[in-house]
C-alpha cells in the first residue's frame, strides 16, 4: 500500500549526521547529476558472507527482475520503447562534438528519459521539454544506418512525442472534472472513456464476495471490434508474453536454490500465475508470500502498485530482490510484536479500531536489486500485499530498506540544507543526533502498523474515497507514525534512548510539508502526488489548528520564512486528533469529508512562499530527486562449469548501466 518515494527521504535526510557510523569514505555514493536528478549508488553489505546457495538464488532473482524492464516502459506509454531505441542509437553512435550545446542538451534529455522509464517525469508526471533543436534530432536520425532508423510513420509520431507539448502532456492526470483516462498518457487503456471503464468495473464488483480479486491489476482495457469493453491480460501467451516468458525462465532457475519448500511453493505459484494470468492465483501467491517469513532472501516480482493508473486499477510492473538485515530487524520485530498495544492505544474511536491486529511481519532488509517501477527512483519502505481482505485475514509484510536510506544519508552530508532552513541550533542538534534513527522508526511505524491499523465499518466500500483514497491512506499511516514517535512506549521498548528524539522528526516533517517539499513543484502548479499531498495536508492542518495558540508558527525573519514549534506535546495532540478524523473518514467511507480535507489543505500552493523556497534552494546545490544505479552481479564457475561464487561489483556508471540493460534485457 505504499511508496514512500525516493525524494521524500532524500529530503528528510537532507543533512542529518547518522546515529550509526557511515561506511568507508572511499565508496562513491554520487554517480551522476543532471536536470533535477542526482543518481546514487548503494552498497549491499553482507552479500559476500551469504552462503553460495543464497547468492545463487539472489542472482537468478535479479535476472528475473531486470528482465521485466521493458514492460514498465511500455505501460508508461506506448511510444517509450521506440523512443528509447532511437535515443540510444544516437547517443551511442554520435560522432560529433559531445561538448556541443545541442549534444549536451540531448544527453540530459536521454538521462531524464532513462530515469523516468519514459518521456514523463517520474514524480511530476509532466512530459519532458527537450532543450535541443528539432533539426539536431532530424540530422542525427538521418545519420543513423538505415536499419536503425524508425519507419517514417513511427518517426513522425516520435517527433511529435518529443517536441509537441500538447501531445500526451501528462502521464497520469488527476484533475477532477476531466476524463482521467483520455487525458493520461499511460498505456493502460485504449479507445475507452473513464465513464465506460468505471461502469465496466462496477458491473464486475460483487459486494457479497468476501475475497474479491483486485480487478484490472494485470490488464489493459480496450474496446474490441464490436465496441465491447475487454481486458487484455499480461501473461505468457497474452500481452507482454515475450518478457513474461523470460521472467518465468529465470524464476525457474531461481527455484533450484530456494531456501526451503515453502519458498519453492511461492515461486511455483508466481510462475503459475504468470502463465494463467488468473488473479485468483495471484491472491493465492500473495497469501503464500505473506506466509514465507523464515527465508532470509525475499523478493517482489509482478504488477504491484497502481499509482500510475489514473483509476488506480492496473499495477505497474516492478521487482525488488532483497535479504534480511538481521541486526536492524530486531527493531521492527519489537514493533511488530507490540502491534496490538499500539492499536489499542491509538487515538481513534473504539469502533474504528481492530479488536485483533493480524500478524504484522516487519523486517529491515538489504536491497540487492531494484527494477521496473522501483528503479532508478525507489521506495524506502514497502508494505504488501495490497489486497484488503488478504491483509485483514493473512496479514502483510512490511519492510524498511536500510541500505537505501543509508546511501541517501551518506550522500547528503554538508549540502547546506540545515544552515538554510533550520536556524534554531537546538533543533539542528536534535536533528543531527536523532533524525536518521527517527526517520527509520517513522518508516517502520508507517509501514508495519500505520497501514494495517483500523478497520472499515461493515458494508463500507474500500474504494469509497476514490481519487482521494491514496492521499488519505498515506495520511493515516503517517499520522499513526507521528503520533507514536512521541510515545514514551518507544523508550520503554528500547527503540530510542531519548524522550526528546521525536522532536527532530516533528520539526523536519512539518518543515517539509509546509515548505521544503515545494521545491519539487514547478511555479504555478498544484501539489498532485499522493505522498506530497498527504504531507501537506497534515502539516497545513496542524498549522491552521495550532497557530492561534502559538503551538506552531511560520514567521518572517530577515525576509525568510521560519518554522517554529513552540509546544511539541500540543503538536502530538493535534496529530492524534487528525488521525482520529482521517480514520473516521476511512472507516465510514465519508467521501465528502475526505475531499474537503484534501481540497482545503493538500493541493493549493501559496505562490509567494513557493517562490521564496525555490529561490532559497537555488543557492544550494541539492537535487530535488534521487535514484540509484544497481550493483552488477557475476557468477564465477570452476572448470567443470559449476558455480563457485557470485561477485558483486560497483563499477558501472549511469549511462553504462542503462545501455547494458537495453542490450541484455530488451524483450519487447
Residues 401-440 that bind Zn ion (CB under 5 A): none
Residues 474-513 that bind Zn ion (CB under 5 A): 474, 477
- The H or E element spanning position 628 is strand 625-629
Q: Does 622 bind Zn ion (CB under 5 A)?
A: no
Strands 219-223 and 632-637: unpaired
Using Cβ positions, the residue closest to Zn ion within the complex turns out to be 2
Whether the CB-CB separation of 318 and 374 falls below 8 Å is answered with: yes
Measured between alpha carbons, how far is 141 from 130 in angstroms, rounded to an integer?
16
Q: Which of 509, 513, 516 is nearest to 482 (CA)?
A: 509
Residues 148-207 that bind Zn ion (CB under 5 A): none
Whether the CB-CB separation of 522 and 583 falls below 8 Å is answered with: no
Name which of 214 and 472 has its Cβ closer to Zn ion.
472
Which region among 469-477, 498-506, 518-526, 549-557 touches Zn ion (by CB under 5 A)? 469-477
- Closest CB 443 distance from Zn ion, rounded Å: 9
Residue entry with cell 513511427: 154
| Residues 446/452/457/458 CA torsion (nearest 10 deg) | 160
Name which of 63 and 529 has its Cβ closer to Zn ion.
529
Query: Is the preceding omega at residue 84 within 30 degrees of 0, hence cis?
Result: no
- Closest CB 446 distance from Zn ion, rounded Å: 6
Which region among 48-56, 467-475, 540-548, 567-575 touches Zn ion (by CB under 5 A)? 467-475
- Closest CB 320 distance from Zn ion, rounded Å: 16
H-only helix segments in 277-359? 279-291, 326-337, 339-344
- Closest CB 549 distance from Zn ion, rounded Å: 30
Count of positions on this chain that bind Zn ion (CB under 5 A): 3
- Closest CB 474 distance from Zn ion, rounded Å: 5
Which region among 2-10, 456-464, 620-628, 639-647 touches Zn ion (by CB under 5 A)? 2-10
Name which of 4 and 91 has its Cβ closer to Zn ion.
4
Which region among 48-56, 99-107, 404-412, 466-474 touches Zn ion (by CB under 5 A)? 466-474
Distance of CA 347 to the CA centre of its chain: 28
Q: Which of 308, 336, 406 is nearest to 365 (CA)?
A: 406
- Closest CB 413 distance from Zn ion, rounded Å: 27
Which region among 13-21, 340-348, 468-476, 577-585 touches Zn ion (by CB under 5 A)? 468-476
Name which of 396 and 657 has its Cβ closer to Zn ion.
396
Which region among 162-170, 263-271, 399-407, 473-481 touches Zn ion (by CB under 5 A)? 473-481
Name which of 427 and 472 has its Cβ closer to Zn ion.
472
- Closest CB 348 distance from Zn ion, rounded Å: 17
Which region among 1-9, 125-133, 173-181, 594-602 touches Zn ion (by CB under 5 A)? 1-9
CA end-to-end span of the chain: 29
Query: CB within 8 A of 21, min separation 6: which ones?
Result: none
Name which of 453 and 657 has its Cβ closer to Zn ion.
453
How many of the other CB atoms lie within 10 Å of CB of 169? Answer: 15
How many of the other CB atoms lie within 10 Å of CB of 141? Answer: 17
Name which of 338 and 443 has its Cβ closer to Zn ion.
443
Q: Does 305 bind Zn ion (CB under 5 A)?
A: no
Name which of 373 and 474 has its Cβ closer to Zn ion.
474
Whether the CB-CB separation of 320 and 382 falls below 8 Å is answered with: yes
Q: Is 428 helix (H, G, I), strand (E, B) or coil?
A: helix
Angle at 510 between CA 505 and CA 514, to 5 degrees: 155
Name which of 478 and 652 has its Cβ closer to Zn ion.
478
- Closest CB 316 distance from Zn ion, rounded Å: 16
Residue 152 grid coordinates: 517514417
- Closest CB 655 distance from Zn ion, rounded Å: 32
Q: Does 444 bind Zn ion (CB under 5 A)?
A: no
Name which of 479 and 563 has its Cβ closer to Zn ion.
479
Name which of 296 and 442 has its Cβ closer to Zn ion.
442
Q: Does 2 bind Zn ion (CB under 5 A)?
A: yes
Whether the CB-CB separation of 36 and 623 falls below 8 Å is answered with: yes
Strands 297-305 and 316-324: antiparallel
Q: Does 448 bind Zn ion (CB under 5 A)?
A: no
Name which of 174 and 219 has its Cβ closer to Zn ion.
174
- Closest CB 396 distance from Zn ion, rounded Å: 12
Name which of 2 and 402 has its Cβ closer to Zn ion.
2
Measured between alpha carbons, how far is 541 from 505 in angstroms, rounded to an integer?
17
- Closest CB 536 distance from Zn ion, rounded Å: 15
Measured between alpha carbons, how far is 610 from 220 in angstroms, rounded to an integer?
38
- Closest CB 279 distance from Zn ion, rounded Å: 23
Query: CB within 8 A of 550, min separation 6: which ones?
Result: 566, 567
- The H or E element spanning position 513 is helix 502-514
Beta sheet of 30-34, edge-to-edge order = 30-34, 37-41, 625-629
Measured between alpha carbons, how far is 191 from 78 in angstroms, rounded to an integer?
14
Residue 316 grid coordinates: 505497474
- Closest CB 435 distance from Zn ion, rounded Å: 19
How many of the other CB atoms lie within 10 Å of CB of 321? Answer: 28
- The H or E element spanning position 442 is helix 425-444
Q: Does 88 bind Zn ion (CB under 5 A)?
A: no
- Closest CB 1 distance from Zn ion, rounded Å: 6
Name which of 283 and 474 has its Cβ closer to Zn ion.
474
Q: Which residues make up the interface to Zn ion (CB under 5 A)?
A: 2, 474, 477
Amino acid at each position: 500500500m505504499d511508496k514512500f518515494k525516493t525524494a521524500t527521504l532524500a529530503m528528510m535526510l537532507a543533512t542529518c549526521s547518522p546515529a550509526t557510523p557511515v561506511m568507508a569514505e572511499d565508496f562513491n555514493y554520487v554517480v551522476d547529476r543532471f536536470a533535477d536528478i542526482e543518481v546514487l549508488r548503494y552498497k549491499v553489505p553482507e552479500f559476500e558472507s551469504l552462503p553460495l546457495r543464497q547468492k545463487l538464488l539472489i542472482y537468478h532473482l535479479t535476472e528475473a527482475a531486470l528482465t521485466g524492464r521493458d514492460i514498465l516502459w511500455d505501460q508508461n506509454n506506448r511510444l517509450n520503447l521506440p523512443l528509447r531505441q532511437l535515443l540510444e542509437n544516437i547517443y551511442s553512435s554520435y560522432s560529433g562534438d559531445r561538448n556541443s550545446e545541442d549534444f549536451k542538451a540531448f544527453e540530459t534529455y536521454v538521462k531524464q528519459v532513462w530515469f523516468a522509464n519514459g518521456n514523463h517525469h517520474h514524480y511530476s508526471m509532466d512530459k519532458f521539454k527537450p532543450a535541443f533543436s528539432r533539426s539536431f534530432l532530424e540530422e542525427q536520425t538521418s545519420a543513423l544506418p538505415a536499419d536503425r532508423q524508425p519507419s517514417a510513420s513511427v518517426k513522425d509520431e516520435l517527433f511529435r512525442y518529443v517536441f509537441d507539448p500538447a501531445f500526451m502532456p501528462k502521464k497520469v492526470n488527476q484533475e477532477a472534472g476531466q476524463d482521467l483516462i483520455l487525458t493520461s498518457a499511460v498505456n493502460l487503456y485504449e479507445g475507452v472513456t473513464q465513464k465506460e471503464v468505471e461502469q465496466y468495473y462496477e458491473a464486475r464488483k460483487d459486494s457479497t464476495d468476501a475475497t474479491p480479486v483486485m480487478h484490472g491489476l494485470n490488464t489493459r482495457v480496450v474496446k474490441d471490434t464490436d465496441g465491447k469493453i475487454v481486458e487484455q491480460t499480461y501473461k505468457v501467451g497474452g500481452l507482454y508474453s515475450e518478457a513474461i516468458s523470460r521472467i518465468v525462465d529465470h524464476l525457474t532457475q531461481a527455484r533450484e536454490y530456494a531456501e526451503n519448500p515453502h519458498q519453492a511453493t511461492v515461486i511455483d505459484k508466481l510462475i503459475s500465475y504468470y502463465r494463467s494470468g488468473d488473479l485468483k492465483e495471484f491472491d493465492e501467491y500473495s497469501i503464500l508470500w505473506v506466509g514465507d517469513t523464515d527465508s532470509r532472501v525475499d523478493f517482489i516480482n509482478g504488477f504491484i502498485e497502481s499509482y500510475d493508473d489514473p483509476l488506480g486499477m492496473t499495477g505497474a510492473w516492478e521487482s525488488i530482490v532483497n535479504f534480511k538485515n538481521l541486526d536492524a530487524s530486531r527493531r521492527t520485530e519489537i514493533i511488530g510484536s507490540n502491534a496490538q498495544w499500539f492499536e489499542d492505544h491509538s487515538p481513534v474511536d473504539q469502533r474504528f479500531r481492530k479488536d485483533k491486529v493480524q500478524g504484522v511481519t516487519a523486517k529491515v532488509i538489504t536491497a540487492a536489486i531494484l527494477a521496473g517501477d522501483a528503479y532508478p527512483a525507489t521506495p524506502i519502505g514497502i508494505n504488501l500485499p495490497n489486497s484488503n481482505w488478504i491483509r485483514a485475514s493473512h496479514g502483510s509484510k512490511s519492510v524498511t530498506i536500510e541500505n537505501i536510506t543509508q546511501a541517501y544519508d551518506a550522500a547528503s552530508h554538508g549540502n547546506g540544507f540545515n544552515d538554510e532552513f533550520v536556524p534554531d541550533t537546538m533543533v539542528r542538534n536534535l536533528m543531527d543526533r536523532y533524525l536518521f534513527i527517527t526517520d527509520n522508526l517513522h518508516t517502520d511505524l508507517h509501514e508495519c502498523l500505520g497501514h494495517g491499523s483500523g478497520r472499515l465499518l461493515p458494508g463500507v466500500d474500500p474504494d469509497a474515497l476514490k481519487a482521494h483514497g491514496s492521499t488519505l491512506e498515506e495520511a493515516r499511516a503517517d499520522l499513526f507514525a507521528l503520533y507514536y514517535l512521541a510515545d514514551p512506549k518507544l523508550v520503554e521498548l528500547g527503540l530510542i534512548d531519548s524522550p526528546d528524539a521525536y522532536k527532530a522528526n516533528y520539526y523536519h516533517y512539518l518543515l517539509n510539508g509546509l515548505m521544503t517539499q515545494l521545491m519539487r513543484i514547478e511555479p504555478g502548479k498544484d501539489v498532485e502526488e499522493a505522498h506530497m499531498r498527504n504531507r501537506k495536508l497534515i502539516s497545513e492542518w496542524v498549522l491552521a489548528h495550532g497557530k492561534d495558540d502559538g503551538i506552531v508558527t511560520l514567521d518572517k525573519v530577515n525576509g525568510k520564512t521560519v518554522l517554529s514549534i513552540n509546544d511539541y506535546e500540543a503538536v502530538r495532540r493535534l496529530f492524534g486528533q487528525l488521525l482520529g478524523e482521517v480514520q473516521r473518514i476511512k472507516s465510514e467511507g465519508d467521501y465528502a469529508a475526505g475531499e474537503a480535507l484534501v481540497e482545503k489543505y493538500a493541493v493549493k500552493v501559496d505562490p509567494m512562499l513557493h517562490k521564496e523556497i525555490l529561490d532559497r534552494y537555488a543557492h544550494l546545490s541539492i537535487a530535488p530527486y534521487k535514484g540509484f544505479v544497481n550493483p552488477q552481479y557475476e557468477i564465477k564457475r570452476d572448470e567443470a562449469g559449476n558455480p563457485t561464487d557470485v561477485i558483486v561489483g560497483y563499477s558501472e556508471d549511469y549511462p553504462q548501466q542503462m545501455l547494458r540493460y537495453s542490450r541484455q534485457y530488451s524483450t519487447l
